[in-house]
Amino acid sequence: MEIKNKIADAIKKAVQSAIEDKIFDLNGELPVVNLTVPPKKDFGDFATNFAMQTAKIFHTAPKNIAQEIKSRIDAPFIEKIEIAGAGFLNFYLKSDVIYTELKNIYYNLENFGQLANKNNPTIQIEYVSANPTGLLHVGHGRGAAAGSAIVNILRSAGYNVESEYYINDAGNQMENLAKSVNARYLELLGQEVEFPENGYHAVDIIDTAKKIVAEYGDKYLNLPEDERLRILMDLAYADKLAELKKDLADFKVFIDNWFSERTLHNGKIESAIKILQENGTIYSKDGALWLNSTKYGDDKDRVVVRENGVATYLAADIAYHKDKFDRGFGTMINLWGADHHGYISRVKAAMTALGYDADKLKILLLQMVSLYRGGELVKMSKRTGESITLHELIEEVGTDAARYFFLMRSIDSQLDFDLDLAKKQSSENPVYYIQYAHARICSICKQVTNLSDENINFSLMNSNAELDLINKLLEYPQEVEKAALDFAPQRIARYAYDLAAQFHSFYRDCRILGVETELAKARLSLVKITAHTIKHSLGLLGVSAPESM
RNA sequence: GCGGUUGUAGCUCAGUUGGAUAGAGCAACUGCCUCCUAAGCAGUAGGUCGCGCGUUCGAAUCGCGCCAAUCGCACCA
């Protein structure tokens, strides 16, 4: 059991005994004991504001409550307790506590950072889900980095997770893809063609057409238009999807489940609509079918089937989310671009109307990315093809830097991505700073080969530099937990940076080569734990930890 | 007009289930390699936490109202 929980237990018992002895008169519910690492070392190893929080329900001054708890607490691992400020209880642990913890970590190092399985129902997370009609751009990159990092973090925190990509492979955009590739195909074969009005102008469409020409030549040139369009749609779709999967794989993004929208068009959309019609949430007006989403807090009602009988995108999305709910996940997370926020209320409205608990669906919104090069904003546009694609970004700055930069800001902050900085191999670049710490440790390990791994006396490490590093390491499991609860990869990015900083300080003050054997053994074990933790935390972000730089 | 997000040091940003003297990096300035990777370390300086009112023992954090930036408000996806 973690030290923190032990202290919390001791406090609860002390309070309980005071209540039984009628010292405290309980007028309300006891809050949970909240233990934190204090901002200054002078304030002990752990602190709680419990006495201040309970002042009201005990009708007693915080300092008196603190005094009572202090006198009743019974815990062998606590060195001393001090009352400070307005009523903080500061706990000072006996020094052997942290050494025992460190020892446990060291002899079970592979598992450090992997929390116990929570045995919760599976969490599903859907992310990227870009249309298979073009290349992934930088905005998708942020979603890909965030989604995959959240998956890693949740798994590390002991949750069961399944990732999913929703492929919009039905409807207008596929028609446009077919028409666009068709136009390029004919162009390449020397025909005069007018480019379709809503077609995709980006150069990757030409590349796709070129591949088709290279493989099939003019085989489809003389087919009837609609037949050729059908064939080209299939070929282009396969090509686009393959490119998309490759770009994601290069970016260390691996999806468990690829969900095709087409599978919804075999009755699932109709049956979802039918249920909503039967319970009165869908009505007819002006020849179209409308979802009465205002009843559930949406701004206005929404069309689900047009006058011409064709279902809207929303209809497919209702069927899709119904399908997700029917698969029985405990929580479903959608990672959407911030420009889709208006969509939340209508999807949730539909789920509520279908009788599901819409709170199980959590929508995380990713704010926009702006790229800067040479201090200038780089414009992006998928239509004109002047965008920077994810592929180009990886080529330019590398997967490690790109992922770290995407992840170091909270997802609901707009991100200014400085391409020049991401490319710099210097201390200005946080990715290198962290990786360098790892490489330094690996370098030491290579040079120290004659030290035994047994009977390590961890308590020899008692200087500030050593204790600071130890304490930082002990915080790691809790950081993973917090990052998982908040879906906040930037917490891990920050932690990895702080840990690297702690190590670099240690490195200056504490040598391993050339010091007395027992101390060298202890320090070597400490830096091995550090290396593991840096590598593990970077791993959660999908960033590599090189052994030499 | 309505809704989402953001506003913290010169710049880029952490920090929200309310807590102790608000933290990093970069940029500026001063030191440190005969010593395990100087891609590093130590130090100095830098703040009305957008503005105002409120809630309370206590507010960057919660509530209300302003201001500014940004994204969105389709029978498109």
ipTM of the complex: 0.94
Asked whether residue A283 is assigned to any structural domain, the reply reads no
Residue A281 confidence (pLDDT): 95
How far is residue A479's CA from residue A469's CA, in Å, rounded to a whole number?
15
Q: Do residue A111 and residue A89 come from a single domain?
A: no
- CA A435 to C1' B42 (Å) is 22
A19 and A75 part of one domain: yes
In a domain, A515, yes or no: yes
- At residue A382, the pLDDT reads 46
- Lowest mean pLDDT, pick from A87-96, A421-430, A465-474, A539-548: A421-430
Angle at A140 between CA A549 and CA A291, to 5 degrees: 155
The verdict on A438 and A536 lying in the same domain is yes
Q: For residue range A473-491, what is the model confidence (pLDDT) as tens digits? A: 999 998 999 999 999 999 9
The pLDDT confidence band at residue A1, using thresholds 50, 70 and 90, is low
Tell me the CA–C1' distance in angstroms for A508 and B18.
39
Pair A38, A104 in one domain: no
CB A211 within 8 A of CB A239: yes
Average pLDDT of the segment spanning A409-420:
89
Is A458 found in the same domain as A525? yes
What's the CA gap between A178 and A25, in Å, rounded?
75
Which residues neighbour A422 within 8 Å (Cβ) at sequence distance 6 or greater? A397, A398, A401, A402, A405, A429, A431
Judgement on whether residues A431 and A516 belong to the same structural domain of the protein:
yes
pLDDT in tens, A275-331: 999 999 999 999 999 999 999 888 899 999 999 999 999 999 999 999 999 999 999
* d(CA A431, C1' B27) / Å: 19
Closest amino acid to nucleotide B26 (CA–C1'): A428
| Residue A490 shares a structural domain with residue A533 | yes
Which nucleotide lies closest to A35 by the C1' atom and the CA atom? B19
Domain encompassing residue A454: 99-118+426-541
Q: Kindly give, in sequence order, each residue whose CB lies less than 8 Å from that of residue A352, ignoring residues fewer than 6 positions away.
A: A296, A358
Alpha helices in A47-202 (DSSP H): 50-53, 55-58, 62-72, 95-106, 138-156, 172-188
Distance A479 CA to B76 C1' (A): 42
A437, A537: one domain: yes
Which CATH number belongs to the domain containing residue A50 in this structure? 3.30.1360.70
CA of A215 to C1' of B17 (A): 60
CATH of the domain at A514: 1.10.730.10
Asked whether residue A254 is domain-assigned, the answer is no
For residues A351-361, average pLDDT: 94
A380-410 residue pLDDT tens = 554 444 568 999 999 999 999 999 999 999 9
Same domain, residue pair A23 and A114: no
CA dihedral A298, A129, A335, A204 (to 10 degrees): -110
Residue A163 within any structural domain of the chain: no
Q: Which nucleotides of B are covered by protein (CB under 7 A)?
A: 2-7, 12-15, 17, 19-21, 23-27, 35-42, 57-58, 70-77
Contacts of A392 (CB under 8 A, 6+ apart): none
Tokens of A398: 């590398």
Same domain? A30 vs A105 = no
> Which residue is nearest to the C1' sugar atom of B2, using CA?
A299
Q: Is A413 among the domain residues?
A: no
A498 φ/ψ angles, rounded to the nearest 5 degrees: -65, -40
The domain tally of chain A equals: 2
Residue A349 domain-assigned (yes or no): no
